[in-house]
């Protein structure tokens, strides 16, 4: 009757089970998954008190919560001893003393002082080769690692921290709406889907349904079961009771033909007792279900929480009834009757949907079938996976929208400051996995689908990844949106709804070929088309002057030209562990007149639709080629189109909230606008135009509002990325804006003249208008002048922005340029991408680490523990297996999994130096080919993975891809490299592939020429996932090295300060003398990898006189760094300890920290956490606000609250 483990074989792995068994059976027989802890009963991880210099508190971090957690004395940098739970138990301890400290009791039982149940150890062995292989290949292992050693001793992670402090943390976390490891057991459990990275199955069952539950059966836990689990109520050893009930539940879910779903090793799932739902949290996300807060004040544990009512805007209801004007009637009695009517209708409408959708399994199944039949109009008895994906997406979206709508109403009622993030890219990745995790519904949907014959992972794989971005810029923007919602900041993202992505990359004969990436073929169920939210955007035309009749001032009116309609498409962005759901609004271009009937009737059929096609082309393609003048015009149209629509939308929303005493002068107090790179910088003159020409404000007042509203993030100092537009082109396309830019520049240069009289060089360098032929508008200068804060994205980048890009501006505006180092969201890049590692963290620390990576620092003292290392290495091996399966299925290459995985995956560019990597692989190939069989037998096996797209017009980058593919073909077909070296170039790199590739890495290469990479975020993701870096002193590498220890980053190459001097002397330097590089070049030029003419330009570019990116200069140091990494990898215990310490030191690179810095340094805004009424302080009541009069009406009777989702 003891529940040990449970494995569910996914269809993918079931198909391969036979071949995997035969390949791994012998290995598994000799190497059980969890060897006994060498420390026996001596400590939590065996010899946990070995020396360690890591500071578990995170160094000088002012946030010292986990310092208190380890107040009992975990080993830290000050040399204090570990707590008693980590040390051998004195022989004179009583049984009670041993039990309360988590020491094994006689007979193998455990009593956890900070847990409400007694736990018994496993009493059966592994179930033969089949059971071992299932555990060995359980790709979804978030629950599978870290509970205890195979012998049931020595690994009791719940005792890692002081119980009193941990319980306080649990209380605080629970009070904030999140789940806790001590929640009651009716939240449901999750078992891993074998072969699936994110595919859980619920094991436990909610009594009457919940977000993780389904219909109660006779085998489910009862209240009596729960009571028997309380302290002092021991489970019966003779069978029956709660434990046997749970075992019967597991058996009920067992796959057909499985001889025994219960394995001896409970640690493979981490299911230590019914109240431990940490792993469920790691898989399912935070528990937002009312079932997980049954003791909340005034909360019915069997009902979903009520939706808010007090924040409903009655003025909006009034307008819908009376055509937009406040109805007062003839007397006070009529007014009271009218108000009573509104209040009654409000109450009636609220009651029709007064609670959130029920999310137990039967309710979800009904929702799925209803969407199949009513939304998709398909027969419920006959549908494919694509249809069921659409139905599942709509079902999840229903649950998103109710939180989304309530959040926006809450924001409006609170009237707090809002931030709007303007980005030309949002590389969001697939939405379904993120949505169900953040809603806490992954387990419920997995079970609902399983019972209908579908697998959640298979369903999620049907989603076409939105092609709304290209690389790091768009992925960073998406990480920020996730974090803004998670941290409860009122924020929206604004961008463009591209009809086609940049392109779909395919490899044809080893060359990149671009195909249209039409991601909207089957629609996008996650978006909401807002046909009622439209704005007119003017292009071309002319500017006329007129005299203001009231003031006599000269005013300007832009008229004529071409008018395009911007239509809004909204996508809810849910936060993790919160009800807050923010919005991403994307604009699609439509013609103001659909069809020219006169032209059609006259026989001009193409002319009849010409204007329509011209307008819709604005949002057709991400980054149209700017090699031609028409391409440049289209890019500028895109940028202006989306910022104009956005600013009109922002001003409309702000003006709706204007109350007595507030005017447009107060806009910066309620609105912050962040420009993600230079692309949206045209928004500065556009806001000025709206304030000057539409709102009739004087120049000085409009400029003050503008500069206090905008913040600008610079992402690069590369000249091609610092956009410049030809003045004649802008004068034709945006004539009014060119006038405003001239005036901005004129007034600014007057300030420069006042500061540096007669210094023409200063004025030339700082002028927004570049005096060239033709004249150019420097958009980065415009953003610098028009923003109150400009930030770089890494310390070295910010220093270069100050010293090289904007040195004069830094002198003129001291303090304006700040640093905010980039970060990535751990929800996407650990919890979802690496379920095996996430399971280790959650089983030890509980779910809180997901939103607070500082907690991982508490694991660093155990980096050398054998049991912990085994769990860590097992997780890494599973990730390699998962990637190898994908490569085999999609590329036909059988990758080794017992090798070091060396990866470089990012946009292909010369400064990122993928060519240096390929040359290093060629050198390695040459060494292997020239070695004897005995020498090759001693070589470290290596798998090299490269991925990334080259811009369609970037021929040099495309040649690098061609060379990489040619080298891959030669290496993989050379028998001398078998078992030693493999090379793959994975095509069409995107977010979903990154989630598959990154967790499998041992070494990742971030080897840009120093000073050219602003920050990089891939480096952060790789280290967070247990890999180490080979890299240059560039971007965030420098800060990562400081955080994880410089010995954990294999650094090489010229520094940023040395690069300029080396470039100045490259014409006079002697030819490169490194024989290894010369041999690699000779191999390429001699045709070893195909037609040498294809690669002659690449080889010419690394000659000493042409070596702008210092590839030849840095090549010897690069090989030395790789050798150091290889040597370190050979000492596996030391290597594993390095990766553990590095991964647990990355809290500074969470986007949570980044967004908090932006909020403090740039936006000056506070979070606004939204909770349903029964979660409010005081129980069941409203948090206030949203009153019928005070906050809902301004002095003129217009509404100032919620904008109806618009």
Under a CB-based contact definition with an 8 Å cutoff, are residues 856 and 1147 in contact?
yes
Rounded-to-integer distance, Cα 43 and Cα 867, Å: 11
Under a CB-based contact definition with an 8 Å cutoff, are residues 1109 and 1077 in contact?
no
In angstroms, what CA-CA distances link 915 with 635, 1112, 1178?
30, 10, 62
Q: Give the list of residues 6+ apart from residue 559 with CB closer than 8 angstroms, or none.
A: 538, 541, 542, 544
Active-site residues: which are they? 715, 906-907, 912, 1017, 1021
Element (H, E) at 586: strand 581-591
Place of tokens 């993120």: 434
Q: Give the list of residues 6+ apart from residue 864 with CB closer than 8 angstroms, or none.
A: 50, 52, 1133, 1137
Burial, 973: exposed, middle or buried (Cβ in 10 Å; 0-12, 13-18, 19+)?
exposed
SS3 label, residue 931: coil
> Could you tell me how many residues make up the chain?
1206
Q: How many CA atoms lie within 13 A of 804 on its CB side?
A: 16
In angstroms, what CA-CA distances link 384 with 368, 458, 460?
13, 11, 13
Under a CB-based contact definition with an 8 Å cutoff, are residues 469 and 621 in contact?
no
Place of tokens 């191999």: 1083
Under a CB-based contact definition with an 8 Å cutoff, are residues 49 and 81 in contact?
yes
Under a CB-based contact definition with an 8 Å cutoff, are residues 279 and 839 in contact?
yes
Cis peptide before 1003 (omega within 30 of 0): no
Rounded-to-integer distance, Cα 630 and Cα 612, Å: 17
Among 388, 396, 467, 489, which Cα is nearest to 437's? 396
- Assigned token pair, 906: 């990012």
- Give the pairing type, strands 1003-1006 and 900-905: parallel
SS3 label, residue 621: strand
Under a CB-based contact definition with an 8 Å cutoff, are residues 58 and 843 in contact?
no
Among 864, 621, 833, 644, which Cα is nearest to 734's? 644
Sign (positive or negative) of CA dihedral 749, 750, 753, 759:
positive
- Assigned token pair, 1205: 């989702």
Q: Which residues of 401-419 are buried (b: 16+ CB within 10 A; e: fewer)?
A: bbbbbbbbbbbbbbbebbb
Among 481, 478, 394, which Cα is nearest to 429's? 478
In angstroms, what CA-CA distances link 558 with 542, 543, 692, 725, 733?
6, 4, 12, 21, 12
Rounded-to-integer distance, Cα 782 and Cα 129, Å: 67
- Assigned token pair, 1021: 């993701």
Vertex 362, ends 361 and 363: CA angle to 5°? 90
Q: Give the list of residues 6+ apart from residue 408 with CB closer than 8 angstroms, or none.
A: 583, 1202, 1203, 1205
Rounded-to-integer distance, Cα 512 and Cα 962, Å: 7
Element (H, E) at 534: strand 528-539
* DSSP type of residue 1162: I
Phi-psi category of residue 454: left, alpha or beta, with phi > 0 → left and psi -120 to 50 → alpha? beta
């Amino acid at each position: 009757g003891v529940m040990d483990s449970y494995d569910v074989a996914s269809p993918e792995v079931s198909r391969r089970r036979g071949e995997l068994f035969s390949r791994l059976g012998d290995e598994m027989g000799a190497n059980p998954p969890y060897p006994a802890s060498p420390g026996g009963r001596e400590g939590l991880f065996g010899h946990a008190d070995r020396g360690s210099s890591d500071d578990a508190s995170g160094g000088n971090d002012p946030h010292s919560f986990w310092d208190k957690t380890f107040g009992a004395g975990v080993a830290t940098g000050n040399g204090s001893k570990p707590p008693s739970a980590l040390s051998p138990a004195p022989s004179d301890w009583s049984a009670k003393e041993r039990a309360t400290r988590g020491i094994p009791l006689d007979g193998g039982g455990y009593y956890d002082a900070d847990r409400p149940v007694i736990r018994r150890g496993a009493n059966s062995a592994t179930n033969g080769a089949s059971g071992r292989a299932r555990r060995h290949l359980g790709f979804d292992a978030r629950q599978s690692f870290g509970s205890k050693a195979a012998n049931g001793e020595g690994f009791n992670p719940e005792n890692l921290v002081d119980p009193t402090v941990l319980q306080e943390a649990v209380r605080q976390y629970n009070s904030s709406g999140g789940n806790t490891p001590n929640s009651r057991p009716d939240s449901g459990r999750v078992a891993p889907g074998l072969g699936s990275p994110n595919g859980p199955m619920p094991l436990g069952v909610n009594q009457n349904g919940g977000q993780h539950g389904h219909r109660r059966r006779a085998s489910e836990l009862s209240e009596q079961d729960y009571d028997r689990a309380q302290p002092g109520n021991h489970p019966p050893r003779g069978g029956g009771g709660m434990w046997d009930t749970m075992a019967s539940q597991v058996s009920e879910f067992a796959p057909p033909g499985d001889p025994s779903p219960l394995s001896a090793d409970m640690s493979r799932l981490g299911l230590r007792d019914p109240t431990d739902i940490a792993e469920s949290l790691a898989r399912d996300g935070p528990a937002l279900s009312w079932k997980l807060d049954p003791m909340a004040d005034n909360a019915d544990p069997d009902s979903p929480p009520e939706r808010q009512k007090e924040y409903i805007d009655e003025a909006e209801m009034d307008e819908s009834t009376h055509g937009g004007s406040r109805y007062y009637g003839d007397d006070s009695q009529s007014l009271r009757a009218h108000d009573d009517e509104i209040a009654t209708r409000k109450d009636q409408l609220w009651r029709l949907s007064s609670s959130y959708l029920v999310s137990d399994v039967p309710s979800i199944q009904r929702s799925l079938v209803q969407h199949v039949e009513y939304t998709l109009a398909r027969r419920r008895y006959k549908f494919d996976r694509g249809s069921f994906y659409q139905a599942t997406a709509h079902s999840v979206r229903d649950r998103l929208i109710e939180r989304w709508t309530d959040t926006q109403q809450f924001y409006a009622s609170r009237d707090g400051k809002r931030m709007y993030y303007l980005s030309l890219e949002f590389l969001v990745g697939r939405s379904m996995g993120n949505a169900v995790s953040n809603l806490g519904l992954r387990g419920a949907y997995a079970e609902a689908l399983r019972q209908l014959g579908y697998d959640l992972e298979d369903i999620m794989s049907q989603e076409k990844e939105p092609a709304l971005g290209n690389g790091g810029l768009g992925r960073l923007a998406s990480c920020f949106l996730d974090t803004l919602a998670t941290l409860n900041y009122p924020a929206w993202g604004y961008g463009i709804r591209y009809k086609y992505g940049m392109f779909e990359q395919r490899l044809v004969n080893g060359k990149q070929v671009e195909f249209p990436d039409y991601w909207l073929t089957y629609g996008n169920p996650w978006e909401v088309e807002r046909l009622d939210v439209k704005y007119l955007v003017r292009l071309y035309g002319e500017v006329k002057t007129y005299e203001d009749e009231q003031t006599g001032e000269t005013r300007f009116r832009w008229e004529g030209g071409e008018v395009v309609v911007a239509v809004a498409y909204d996508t809810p962005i849910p936060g993790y562990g919160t009800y807050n759901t923010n919005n991403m609004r994307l604009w699609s271009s439509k013609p103001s007149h659909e069809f020219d009937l006169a032209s059609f009737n006259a026989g001009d059929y193409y002319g009849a639709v010409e204007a329509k096609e011209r307008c819709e082309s604005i949002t057709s393609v991400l980054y149209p080629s700017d090699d031609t003048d028409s391409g440049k015009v289209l890019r500028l149209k895109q940028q202006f189109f989306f910022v104009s629509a956005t600013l009109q939308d922002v001003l409309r929303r702000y003006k709706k909230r204007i109350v007595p005493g507030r005017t447009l002068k107060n806009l910066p107090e309620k609105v912050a606008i962040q420009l993600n790179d230079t692309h949206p910088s045209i928004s500065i003159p556009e806001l000025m135009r709206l304030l000057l020409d539409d709102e009739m404000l004087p120049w000085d007042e409009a400029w003050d509002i503008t500069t206090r509203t905008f913040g600008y993030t610079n992402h690069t100092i590369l000249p091609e990325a610092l956009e410049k537009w030809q003045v004649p082109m802008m004068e034709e396309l945006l004539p009014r804006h060119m006038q405003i830019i001239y005036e901005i520049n004129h007034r600014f240069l007057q300030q420069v003249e006042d500061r540096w009289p007669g210094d023409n060089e200063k004025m030339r360098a700082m002028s927004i208008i570049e005096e060239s032929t033709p004249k150019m508008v420097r958009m980065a200068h415009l953003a610098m002048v028009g923003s109150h804060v400009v930030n770089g994205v890494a310390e070295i980048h910010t220093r270069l922005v100050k010293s090289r890009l904007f040195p004069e501006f830094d002198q003129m505006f001291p303090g304006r340029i700040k640093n905010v180092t980039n970060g990535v969201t751990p929800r996407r890049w650990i919890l979802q991408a690496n379920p095996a590692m996430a399971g280790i963290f959650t089983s030890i620390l509980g779910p809180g680490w997901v939103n607070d990576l500082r907690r991982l620092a508490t694991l660093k003292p155990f980096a050398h523990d054998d049991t912990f290392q085994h769990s860590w290495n097992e997780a890494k091996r599973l990730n390699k297996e998962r990637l190898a399966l994908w490569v085999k299925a999609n590329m036909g290459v059988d990758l080794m999994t017992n090798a070091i995985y060396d990866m470089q995956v990012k946009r292909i560019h010369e400064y990122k130096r993928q060519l240096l990597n390929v040359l290093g692989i060629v050198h390695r190939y040459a060494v292997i080919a020239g070695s004897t069989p005995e020498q090759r037998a001693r070589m470290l096996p290596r798998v090299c993975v490269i991925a990334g797209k080259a811009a369609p017009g970037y021929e040099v980058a495309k040649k690098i891809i061609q060379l990489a593919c040619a080298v891959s073909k030669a290496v993989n077909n050379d028998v001398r490299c078998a078992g030693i070296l493999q090379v793959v170039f994975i095509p069409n790199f995107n977010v979903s592939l990154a989630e598959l590739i990154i967790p499998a890495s041992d070494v990742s290469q971030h080897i840009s020429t120093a000073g050219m990479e602003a920050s990089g975020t891939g480096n952060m993701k790789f280290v967070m996932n247990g890999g180490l870096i080979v890299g240059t002193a560039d971007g965030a590498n420098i800060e990562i090295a400081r955080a994880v220890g410089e010995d954990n980053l294999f650094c090489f190459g010229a520094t940023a300060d040395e690069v300029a001097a080396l470039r100045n002397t490259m014409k006079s330097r002697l030819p490169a003398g490194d024989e290894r590089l010369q041999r690699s070049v000779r191999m390429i030029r001699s045709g070893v990898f195909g037609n040498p003419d294809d690669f002659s330009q690449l080889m010419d570019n690394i000659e000493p006189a042409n070596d702008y990116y210092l590839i030849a200069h840095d090549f010897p140091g690069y090989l030395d760094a790789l050798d150091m990494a290889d040597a370190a990898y050979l000492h596996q215990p030391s290597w594993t300890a390095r990766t553990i310490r590095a991964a647990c030191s990355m809290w500074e690179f969470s986007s949570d920290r980044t967004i908090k810095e932006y909020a403090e340094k740039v936006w000056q805004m506070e979070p606004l956490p939204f909770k349903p009424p029964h979660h409010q302080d005081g129980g069941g009541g409203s948090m206030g606000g949203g009153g019928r009069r005070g906050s809902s009406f301004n002095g003129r009777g217009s509404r100032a609250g919620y904008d109806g989702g618009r």
